[in-house]
Amino acid sequence: MDYLSSGFSKVDNSQRPDVFISCLETLCSLPYFQGYKKKSFQSLNVKDSKILEIGCGLGLDAMTVAQMIGEEGYVVAIDSSRKMINNASKNSIEIDSIHYCIADGCQLPFRDGSFDGARADRVLQHIDDPRKAFSEMVRVVRDTGRLVVYEPDWGTFIVSPGQRKVCRIMTQLFGDTFPSGWIGRQLPGFFCEEGLMNIKIEPQTFMTDDLPLAVKVFDLINNAHRAHEMGYVSEEQAKRWLEDLMEAHNQGRFFCSYTGFLVSGEKP
Ligand SMILES: C[S@@+](CC[C@H](N)C(=O)[O-])C[C@H]1O[C@@H](n2cnc3c(N)ncnc32)[C@H](O)[C@@H]1O
């Protein structure tokens, strides 16, 4: 079974890469994601710059950045997944100023100080050693260059209604099955430890009352089945939880949210 929380770290091994691709397409279409992404682009100061995008996925953000930079600039977009890079390359075939590359965020194939800025969006959560990936981003950015990262903190994940004990298990299991599900709260510390200056931390809360959307992007049904398979809840409890959510949705009282953190800073 491909779970969204653990599967993004190895999309190429998945039998259903379309599930991950479709999830990214849905997220990109939502106003919340468009809103913080726009802030992150502004914070990068991309004019005539060389920008590195880590974990570019379908390449949609790399395309936006490429359209914002002047003729002197370019974007290098990396992803560890060949399937993602193939999709991204197809999506932006007519844009000359993007260069795609398959690479691991923890071992960037670039010299120190090669870029004016670097950006990562919901990538470090999928990496076992996010500190290493972040310090690689810092290494390849030049002095006075900018770093901008957005990551969720799954310790803030709320799904309502539902019996408190069962809800707690479901949301905790979802967060704990990301390689780095608490990265949101760790990110400001990473910026400090790397000696970055002018650090700005912006919490961004996502909310929805749309159960089908939450099922798709937060894997609620697969996660409930997994909670049962792992012995955390009975089959009856998992079934009842999902039924309660459906009933709440039909009555317009389903609620789901999490907080992500947009953190930016400058290399001294
Ligand atoms: C949730 S997606 C986000 C994609 C894109 N940044 C966006 O905002 O739509 C995470 C991406 O990170 C990539 N990824 C996971 N682990 C990685 C690693 N170690 N190095 C580089 N990319 C990685 C995945 O293949 C996937 O494309």
What is the best residue among 18, 123, 180, 204 to mutate for testing ligand 1's pocket, by most ligand atoms within 8 Å of CB? 123
Can you tell me which residue has the tokens 């726009």? 38
Six token digits for residue 239: 């079934």
What pLDDT digit, counting tens, does each position of 103-130 carry? 999 999 999 999 999 999 999 999 999 9
Q: Is the CB of 242 under 6 A from ligand 1?
A: no
Q: Is the CB of 233 under 6 A from ligand 1?
A: no
Six token digits for residue 69: 């930079």
Strand 255-266 to strand 197-208: parallel, antiparallel, or no bridges (unpaired)?
Answer: antiparallel
What pLDDT digit, counting tens, does each position of 184-237 carry? 999 999 999 999 999 999 999 999 999 999 999 999 999 999 999 999 999 999
Q: Is the CB of 122 under 6 A from ligand 1?
A: yes
Six token digits for residue 79: 């992803």
State mean pLDDT over 170-184. Answer: 97
Q: Is the CB of 57 under 6 A from ligand 1?
A: yes
Six token digits for residue 75: 């974007």
Total length of the chain: 268
Ligand 1 atom, smallest distance to 121 CA: 6
What pLDDT digit, counting tens, does each position of 39-88 carry? 999 999 888 799 999 999 999 999 999 999 988 899 999 999 999 999 99
For residue 145, what are the contacts with CB-CB under 8 A and spacing of at least 6? 113, 115, 116, 117, 118, 266, 267
Measured over the CA atoms of residue 80, residue 216, residue 130 and residue 51, the dihedral's sign is: positive
Q: Is the CB of 244 under 6 A from ligand 1?
A: no
Residue 205's pLDDT is what? 98
Q: Which residue pairs from 107-112 have beta carbons closer than 8 angstroms and sit at least 24 positions apart in sequence?
A: 107/136, 108/52, 108/54, 108/78, 108/136, 108/137, 108/139, 108/140, 110/52, 110/76, 110/140, 111/140, 112/139, 112/140
Cα 122 to averaged position of ligand 1 atoms, centre (Å): 7
Can you tell me which residue has the tokens 């000359």? 96
pLDDT band at 93 (very low <50, low <70, confident <90, very high): confident
What predicted TM-score, i.e. pTM, was given to this entire model? 0.97
CATH class in words for 4-154+179-207+259-266: alpha beta
Task: Provide the 8-state DSSP code for 69.
Answer: S
**CA neighbor of 126 nearest in space, from 202, 227, 56:** 56
Q: Which residue pairs from 212-215 have beta carbons closer than 8 angstroms and sit at least 24 positions apart in sequence?
A: 213/26, 214/159, 214/254, 214/256
Cα 211 to averaged position of ligand 1 atoms, centre (Å): 25
Ligand 1 atom, smallest distance to 57 CA: 27
Ligand 1 atom, smallest distance to 37 CA: 8
Residue 200's pLDDT is what? 98
